[in-house]
Amino acid sequence: MVRTVIDPVTRAGSGLRVELDVAGGAISEAWVSGTMFRGLEATLKGRDARDAWLLADRICGTCSGVHALASVRAVEASLGVTIPANARLIRNLLGGTLMVRDHVLGFYQTEGPNWVDLKAAAGADANATAQLAKLQSDRAGSTPEAFKAVRDRLAVVTADGAPGAMGRGWWGHPAYRLSPEQNLLLAAHHFEALDWQRNLMRIHALMGGKDPHPQTYLVGGMAVAAPWGGPKGQTGRDHPKVPDRNAPDALSTEGLLLVEGILAATRSFIDQVYLPDVRVLAKVYGDWAAIGAGIGAYLSGGEFPVDTGEGAARFLPAGRLQAGRLLSPQPVDAKAIGETTVHAWYANPNGDAALDGPATGGATPVWPANLSLPLTTLEGAAKYTWIKAPRYDGLPMETGALARVLVATADGRQEIAASLGALLTDLGLTMEHLPGVLGRTLARAVEADVVSHQAATWLADLRTNLAAGDLAIADVTWWDPSSWKAETDGYSLGEGPRGTVGHWVGIRDGLITSYQVVDGSTWNASPRDDSGGRGPIEAALVGVALADPARPLEALRVIHSFAPCGGCASHVFRPTESTR
Amino acid sequence: MREDGVYAAMVRRGMTRRTFLRFSAAMAAALSLPAAYGPRIAKALEAAPRVPVIWIRGQACGGNTEALLRAANPTAANLLLEVLSLDYHEELLAVAGADAASPLAGLASRYPNGYYAVLEGSFPTGAAGAYCLIGGRPAVDVAREVATGALLTLAVGSCAVDGGAPAAPGGITEAGGIGKVLTGGNFIALPGCPANPSNLAAVIVHQLVAKETMPTDLAHRPLAFYGNLIHNQCERRPHFEFGEFALEWGDQGAQRGWCLYKLGCKGPETMANCPDVRYGEKISWNVSSGVGCIGCHSPSFWGAMGPAYRRLPSPLPFLPNLTTDLVGGAMVAGIGGVAVAHGVGMTIRFKRYKAQDRRAKAKAAAEAASATETPPTAEPEAAAGTETAAAGTGER
Ligand code: SF4
Question: What would the pLDDT profile of B365-377 be if each residue is shown by its tens digit?
Answer: 665 555 433 333 3
pLDDT in tens, A80-139: 999 999 999 999 999 999 999 999 999 999 999 999 999 999 999 999 999 999 999 988
> How far apart, in whole angstroms, are the C-alpha atoms of residue B169 and residue B120?
20
Nearest CA to ligand 1 atom 1: B261
Supply the pLDDT for residue B202. 84
User: Nearest Cβ partner of B12 from A118, A153, A218?
Assistant: A153
Predicted confidence band of residue A237 (pLDDT cuts 50, 70, 90): very low
Whether B390 has a pLDDT exceeding 60, the answer reads no
The dihedral of CA A350, A356, A357, A362: what is its sign? positive
Residue spans per domain, chain B: 6-225, 228-312
Lowest mean pLDDT among A188-192, A391-395, B384-388: B384-388
Q: What is the pLDDT of residue A273?
A: 97
Nearest Cα residue to atom 6 of ligand 1: B231
Mean pLDDT score of chain A:
93
Ranges A241-250, A491-500, B114-123: which has the least confidence:
A241-250
Non-local CB neighbours of A129 within 8 Å, separated by 6+ positions = A144, A147, A151, A181, A184, A185, A188
Q: Using alpha carbons, select from A404, A563, A526, A543 the residue that is nearest to residue A31.
A: A526
For the stretch A37-68, pLDDT in tens is 999 989 999 999 999 999 999 999 999 999 99
| Dihedral, CA of residue A352, residue A353, residue A356 and residue A358, to nearest 10 | 70
Is the CB of B13 inside 8 Å of chain A's CB atoms? yes
pLDDT of residue A434: 97
Comparing A8-22, A210-224, B331-345, the range with the smallest average pLDDT is B331-345
Question: Nearest C-alpha of chain B: how many angstroms from A418?
Answer: 33
Which helix (H) or strand (E) covers residue B223, if one does? helix B223-226
User: Mind listing the pLDDT tens digit for each residue in B203-220?
Assistant: 887 887 777 788 899 899
* Whole-number CA gyration radius for chain A: 24
Segment 105-134 of chain A within 8 Å of chain B by CB: 109, 113, 118
Q: Name the percent of chain A lying above pLDDT 90.
A: 84
Q: Which of A567, A561, A10 is nearest to A282 (CA)?
A: A561
* Chain A closest-CA separation from residue B210 CA (Å): 22
Give yes or no for B382 touching A (CB within 8 A).
yes
Q: Which of A55, A118, A565 sits opposite B168 (nearest CB)?
A: A55
Is residue A330 within 8 Å of A322, Cβ to Cβ?
yes
The pLDDT value recorded for residue A228 is 83
Short-list A564, A442, A475, CA closest to A79: A475
pLDDT top residue among B47 and A310: A310
Q: Which residues line ligand 1 (CB under 6 A)?
A: B 230-231, 234, 236-237, 240, 259-261, 265, 267-268, 287, 292-293
Pocket residue to mutate for ligand 1, from B237, B288, B340, most atoms within 8 A of Cβ: B237
Contacts A51 to B, Cβ<8 Å: 306-309
> In this structure, what DSSP letter does residue A303 have?
E
Contacts B82 to A, Cβ<8 Å? 153
- Chain B contact present for A167, CB below 8 A: yes
Is it true that domain B6-225 has CATH number 3.40.50.700? yes
What pLDDT is attached to residue B32? 58
The mean-pLDDT minimum among B61-65, B125-129, B266-270, B325-329 falls in B325-329
pLDDT of residue B347: 59
Question: Which helix (H) or strand (E) segment is B221 a member of?
Answer: none
A-chain CB neighbours of B172 within 8 Å are: 39, 42, 365, 572
CA distance A376 to chain B (A): 6
- What are the φ and ψ backbone dihedral angles of A548, each rounded to 5 degrees? -145, 95
Average the pLDDT over each of A315-329, A478-492, B175-189, B322-336 and give the range with the smallest value: B322-336
Q: For Cα atoms A199, A204, A209, give the angle at the middle one, nearest 5 degrees.
A: 125
Q: Which residues from A are below 8 Å from B175, CB to CB?
A: 38
**Phi, psi dihedrals of residue A474, rounded to the nearest 5°:** -150, 145
Query: Is B390 an 8 Å CB contact of chain A?
Result: yes
What is the CATH class of B228-312? few secondary structures
Length of chain B equals 396
Q: Hey, is the C-beta of A179 within 8 angstroms of any chain B C-beta?
A: no
Q: CA–CA separation, A554 vs A366, rounded Å?
A: 33
Q: What is the pLDDT of residue B386?
A: 35
CA distance A170 to A173: 6
The minimal CB distance from A366 to the residues B71, B309, B376 is found for B376
Whole-prediction pTM value?
A: 0.90
Q: Residue A574: is its pLDDT beyond 60?
A: no
Highest mean pLDDT among A199-203, A358-362, B44-48, B209-213: A199-203
Query: How are beta strands A298-305 and B187-190 bridged, if at all?
Result: unpaired
pLDDT in tens, B300-350: 999 999 899 999 876 654 444 444 334 433 333 334 444 445 555 555 555
B281 in the Ramachandran plot: left (φ > 0), alpha (ψ -120 to 50) or beta?
left
Among A258-272, A460-474, A566-580, the range scoring the smallest mean pLDDT is A566-580
What band does A1 get if pLDDT is binned at 50, 70 and 90?
Answer: confident
* Set of chain A residues whose Cβ sits within 8 Å of the Cβ of B97: 5-9, 552
Q: Report whether pLDDT(A244) > 80.
A: no
pLDDT value of residue B10 = 59
**B302 touching chain A per CB within 8 A:** yes
Go through the domains of chain A in sequence order and give each one's CATH number: 2-100+288-336+394-579 (1.10.645.10)
> Which secondary structure element, helix H or strand E, spans residue A411, and what is its range?
none
Q: Which ligand 1 atom is nearest residue B265's CA?
A: 2
pLDDT > 90 in chain B, percent: 47
pLDDT in tens, A545-554: 999 999 999 9
